[in-house]
Structure 1
Amino acid sequence: MAGGPSGILETLKTNNLFEKEVLLKRNEFLKVAGTIDTNIYFIEEGSLRVYISQTQEEQIIRFGYQNDLIVSLDSFLTEQPSDFYIQAIKKTSVKVISKRTFFEFITENEDNLKLWNAILENLVLQQMEREKDLLIASVNERYSRVLKRSPRLFQEIPHKYIANYLRMTPETLSRLKKS
């Protein structure tokens, strides 16, 4: 999750909800499939990718970089194992908020509950945009939509990962970038 979240992130920092910091080396996993993860992560530095692995093929569904929140939302909400992996693309530093600490915070007052609603709304809207991207047949349009929505992505994330996210070959992405 990213974005209008600057106010969200400021609130989390101000209230000192972060319990620890985790340093990840390039390609190190923050979370692996089949595990339960009920933490919320704030990316201080670096970048992460969220993906699912099916029959030895990875399908990237999300990226996170500096000042983004990332969460394995299915596992966070259900406290059940998730099929998702969260992996560092480069050296990454994340601050951690546990579900328990976060829910104690959001139940303290109505403003904090509004913050949770804003986080959920943001996540739902991001997911809807992602689903639209996947339904668009034209690689040109998929590329244009993501470039318009997340220009920073192209500075932060290696092209091979962006190509996977856009469901195209790295060569197609390279051709689109040149045109």
Structure 2
Amino acid sequence: MDIIQTLLNAGLFNDKKVVQRHQFIKTKGETDIHIYFIESGSVRIFMMDEDEERTIRFGYSGNIIVSLDSFLSGKPSDFYIQAIKKTEVRIASKNDFYQFIQSNEEHLKLWILVLEDLVLQQLEREKDLLINSPQERLERVLKRSPKLFQEIPHKYIANYLRMSPETLSRLKKS
């Protein structure tokens, strides 16, 4: 059984919420005390850099998302989590989640696997940002997330890849 299915079967994600397109699940300055499972729809996690949005992550059906910095530290975050389209999420509280992972060794091992995966994803993201070639950044992301273009509008993907929508369109055609 995979990690997400184990978490869902544990009964942690009891609350449900429908978030309309462009509505926020979390905004800058809030402390995130929840973890979210996306049943349908898609979201982006971003921050503001001066007057520009910087997308750092996407989530879509079957993903777990969280403002991890805030969730772990208990402090407000600079990140926003916004629905890209109508999105249904199931919500688990930090308290319930921590009780679950501390209830036995297998649950704790699951949490360690989740954290390890998140660290590896973040390292891949950092590599993407260090690569100068827009074509290579696109190829890396497509290899990691082949479903991305079915789930996320191109303008957000372009922002994530640090390129203009026109550049992304041209690269996809070539």
Structure-1-length-normalised TM-score: 0.96
Residue aligning to 1:129: 124
Residue aligning to 1:45: 40
In 1, Cα distance between the equivalents of 2:67 and 2:83?
14
Q: CA deviation at 1:56?
A: 1.5
Q: 1:71 aligns with which of 66, 70, 90?
A: 66
Residue aligning to 2:57: 62
In 2, Cα distance between the equivalents of 1:54 and 1:138?
22
In 2, Cα distance between the equivalents of 1:77 and 1:113?
15
Residue aligning to 2:31: 36
In 2, Cα distance between the equivalents of 1:79 and 1:66?
26
- Partner SS, residue 71 of structure 2: helix
Instruction: Verify: 1:150 aligned to 2:149, yes or no.
Output: no
The runs of 5 or more residues in structure 2 that have no matched partner are: none
Give the counterpart letter for 1:18 in structure 2.
F
The alignment of Structure 1 onto Structure 2 pairs a total of residues equal to 174
Instruction: Verify: 1:172 aligned to 2:150, yes or no.
Output: no
1:116-162 per-position Cα deviation (integer Å, ceiling 9, x unaligned):
00110011011000000000000010011001111100110000000
Instruction: Verify: 1:20 aligned to 2:12, yes or no.
Output: no
Q: 1:114 aligns with which of 109, 113, 122?
A: 109
Kept after mapping to 2: 8 A contact 1:19/1:98: no
Q: CA deviation at 1:19?
A: 2.7
List structure 1 segments (4+ residues) > 3 angstroms apart after TM superposition: none
Give the counterpart letter for 2:106 in structure 1.
D
In 1, Cα distance between the equivalents of 2:25 and 2:137?
28
Q: 2:135 aligns with which of 125, 137, 140?
A: 140
1:46-82 per-position Cα deviation (integer Å, ceiling 9, x unaligned):
0000000122200000000000000100000110000
Structure-2-length-normalised TM-score: 0.98
